Amino acid sequence: DAGVIQSPRHEVTEMGQEVTLRCKPISGHNSLFWYRQTMMRGLELLIYFNNNVPIDDSGMPEDRFSAKMPNASFSTLKIQPSEPRDSAVYFCASSLREEEFFGPGTRLTVL
Amino acid sequence: DQQVKQNSPSLSVQEGRISILNCDYTNSMFDYFLWYKKYPAEGPTFLISISSIKDKNEDGRFTVFLNKSAKHLSLHIVPSQPGDSAVYFCAASGNDYKLSFGAGTTVTVRA
């Protein structure tokens, strides 16, 4: 299995632009998580899905952030409009039980 | 509100000696605890876990201890090796399988 796949690995954009991060979870996993890692707050859970349904989005910082999971093999995290303070590494993870498997992350830089 | 806390942002240890990483939690509903290891530019990878019905779990050089009454767990690495230099995240979950992460501890193993 290729593990959790995220794209792009790096994204540099200008303030105000829309950013879409993509994730392909491990086949067979029924939960998918989006995290943001910053120096100040470590790993923050943004949203998680179970069986493609959003269960808890209380970590989503603002309405500028949205996430979708149209099917079991794909999810997106969108930021519109992006701001410099959104610069961070965004991780996607999937799981079948407690142990989560993380993707390599997307490093987002908003200028 | 940070439910999982790692109060030491960094730890430096000499090769061959023991590394002890600490983690405290506040939510008494947590019943499963995990440690993740993260290298730069990679996603966190699962290291070791412990269920609340145990107080110790050992896997090779890694041992996790759980003190439920104190809501405290620790990770011991013996002996420490240069390849252990990484960021270590403590995580905890309850019955919803959602993980709450600490802010991480950066371990540097000196040769």
pLDDT in tens, B49-69: 999 999 999 999 999 999 999
- Considering only alpha carbons, which residue of chain A is nearest residue B96? A98
- Considering only alpha carbons, which residue of chain A is nearest residue B43? A104
Measure B42 CA to nearest chain A CA, in Å: 5
Q: Where residue A34 falls among pLDDT bands split at 50, 70, 90?
A: very high
pLDDT value of residue A62:
86
Contact A28, A17 (CB under 8 A): no
pLDDT value of residue A41:
76
> What is the pLDDT of chain A when averaged over all its residues?
93
Task: For residue B99, list chain A residues with Cβ-Cβ distance below 8 A.
Answer: 33, 45, 98, 100
pLDDT value of residue A39:
75
Q: Where residue A20 falls among pLDDT bands split at 50, 70, 90?
A: very high
Over range B13-36, report the average pLDDT. 96
Query: Could you say which of A31, A43, A107 has the minimum Cβ distance to residue B97?
Result: A31
- Mean pLDDT lowest for which of A74-78, A96-100, B9-13, B76-80? A96-100
pLDDT value of residue B83:
96
Q: Does the pLDDT at position B14 exceed 90?
A: yes
Cβ-in-10-Å burial (0-12, 13-18, 19+) of B11 comes to: middle
Q: Which of A35, A72, A69 is nearest to A54 (CA)?
A: A69
Contact B11, B42 (CB under 8 A): no
Q: Does the pLDDT at position A98 exceed 90?
A: no
Q: Where residue A35 falls among pLDDT bands split at 50, 70, 90?
A: very high
Q: Where residue B1 falls among pLDDT bands split at 50, 70, 90?
A: low
Q: Which of A13, A67, A8, A64 is nearest to A35 (CA)?
A: A67
pLDDT value of residue A1:
63
> What is the pLDDT of chain B when averaged over all its residues?
94
Query: Could you say which of B36, B93, B98 has the minimum Cβ distance to residue A56?
Result: B98
Strand, coil or helix: B51: strand
Task: For residue A95, list chain B residues with Cβ-Cβ distance below 8 A.
Answer: 97
- Read off the pLDDT of residues A38-56 as tens digits, 9 standing for 90 and up: 877 788 999 999 999 999 8
Over range B39-48, report the average pLDDT. 92
CA A53 to CA A55: how far, in whole Å?
6
Q: Which of B42, B66, B53 is nearest to B76 (CA)?
A: B66
Residue B101's alpha-carbon distances to A7, A35, A36, A81, B6, in angstroms, are 23, 10, 11, 27, 9
Cβ pair B102:A42 closer than 8 A: yes
